[in-house]
Amino acid sequence: MDRFSVFSSRLVEKAEYFTSGHRACQGCAEALAVRLVMKALGRDTIVAMATGCMEIISSPLPTTAWKVPWIHVAFENSSAVVSGCEAGMKAMMRKGKLNQKKINFVAMGGDGSTADIGMGPLSGALERGHDMLYVCYDNEAYMNTGIQRSSATPFGASTTTSPAGKKSIGQQTQKKNLPQIAVAHDIPYVATACSSFPFDLMQKVKKASAISGPAYIHILSVCPTGWRIQPHDAIRYGRLAVDANVFPLYEVENGEYRLTYTPYKVLPVREYLKGQGRFRHLTDKEIELIQKNVENDYAKLLKKCGGQG
């Protein structure tokens, strides 16, 4: 049934578990992603969060934006912390020390936390098979510390540690493909999502939480501050990323790939890059190169989806 659930704005959970009043920048689509994820997960959830924007903006002592049990320990270890929560509760429930209850164990981290410093712990947690969901909020740089590059920063983006200059295009490496790394662990569920597509996002989170075993969701989370766009454009840029096939929406269930959204009309990548301060230095030739890369990557993905498209 879960597979076919239908969303309309009136059916969306009204309750908020990540509440307003937090300190995210205006137009932060990462905070929106967290809010949507929490709506889909509901109250019976324990969240372990990595250091980063979302942790800082939601928990300045003595306040909290969290209505579910929430723990932050450090930058690289939310996957290990949630492993411990899951293991602890599992043991206590089995031994009768705690009443039986279905709880969603969810780890959350940014792209820096996930793709770089927390890669080992994440791999360990996925490999061990905990009943958990890992959500990566990918805003394509270390935003909390001032827009430094991560290995998930896209080719050509200018950040404070991959600045564009006379001798550099900015980020010189291709974006690390985290969902593929998750898939390589042979876990039951992997998906990409974007907070500009809220129903798709929530449906995937619901599916992931219903599955037993590890699941991984990678959410493109537009950051107006780091991408140097207007706050009111955050949702639009999320849509552009998806409609230009820069960030395709798909899911992988038990190894089976499926696109969950196909653009009605595929936009040129230029439309997506245009207006983003982090890409403003790119020449036509460089944009052409990025266009080619996007097309290649999409073709590879389509093949995995059995040619569907």
Ligand X SMILES: Cc1ncc(C[n+]2csc(CCOP(=O)(O)OP(=O)(O)O)c2C)c(N)n1
The residues that touch ligand X, with contacts defined as CB under 6 A, are: 30, 51-54, 75, 109-113, 137, 139, 142-145, 150
Name the nearest CA neighbour of 209 among 72, 82, 93, 40.
Answer: 40
Least distance from ligand SF4 to the Cβ atom of residue 131, Å: 29
Least distance from other proteins to the Cβ atom of residue 273, Å: 34
Name the nearest CA neighbour of 20 among 62, 67, 77.
Answer: 67
Using CA atoms, how far residue 297 sits from 14, 235, 279, 294, 302, in Å, is: 38, 23, 20, 5, 9
Site for other proteins in 66-105 (CB under 8 A): 66-74, 76-77, 80-92, 94-95, 97-98, 101, 103
DSSP 2: G
Residues that bind Mg ion (CB under 5 A): 110-111, 139, 143
Least distance from ligand X to the Cβ atom of residue 285, Å: 29
Of residues 139 and 203, the one with the C-beta less far from Mg ion: 139
Query: Does 113 help bind ligand SF4 (rule: CB under 6 A)?
Result: no
Name the nearest CA neighbour of 190 among 292, 114, 296, 117.
Answer: 114
Which one of other proteins, ligand X, Mg ion, none interacts with residue 91, CB within 5 to 8 A by kind?
A: other proteins
Beta-carbon contacts of residue 4 (< 8 Å; ≥ 6 apart) = none
Least distance from ligand X to the Cβ atom of residue 85, Å: 20
Q: How far apart are the first and last CA of the chain?
A: 24
Query: Does 53 help bind ligand SF4 (rule: CB under 6 A)?
Result: yes
Which one of ligand X, other proteins, ligand SF4, none interacts with residue 111, CB within 5 to 8 A by kind?
A: ligand X
Residue 183's SS3 state is: helix
Place of tokens 């009204």: 14
Q: Which residues pair with residue 216 across a beta bridge?
A: 134, 190
Q: According to CB under 6 A, which one of 48, 57, 108, 135 is a site residue for ligand SF4?
A: 57
Which part of the chain contacts ligand SF4 (CB under 6 A), choosing from 27-35, 158-166, 197-205, 248-256?
27-35
Tokens of 80: 């290990």
Site for ligand SF4 in 224-263 (CB under 6 A): 224-226
Query: Does 223 help bind ligand SF4 (rule: CB under 6 A)?
Result: yes
Angstrom distance (rounded) from CA 304 to CA 298: 10
Of residues 159 and 203, the one with the C-beta less far from ligand X: 159
CB 193 within 8 A of CB 261: no
Q: According to CB under 8 A, which one of 33, 36, 46, 133 is a site residue for other proteins?
A: 46
* Total of chain residues touching ligand SF4, rule CB under 6 A: 13
Query: Does 114 help bind other proteins (rule: CB under 8 A)?
Result: no
Least distance from ligand SF4 to the Cβ atom of residue 187, Å: 27
Kind and range of the H or E run holding 40: helix 29-41
Question: What letter represents residue 69's amino acid?
Answer: P
Which one of other proteins, ligand X, ligand SF4, none interacts with residue 25, CB within 5 to 8 A by kind?
A: ligand SF4
Angstrom distance (rounded) from CA 8 to CA 138: 26
Angstrom distance (rounded) from CA 178 to CA 49: 18
- Which residues would be at the binding site for ligand SF4 (CB under 6 A)? 24-25, 28, 30-31, 53, 57, 139, 143, 223-226
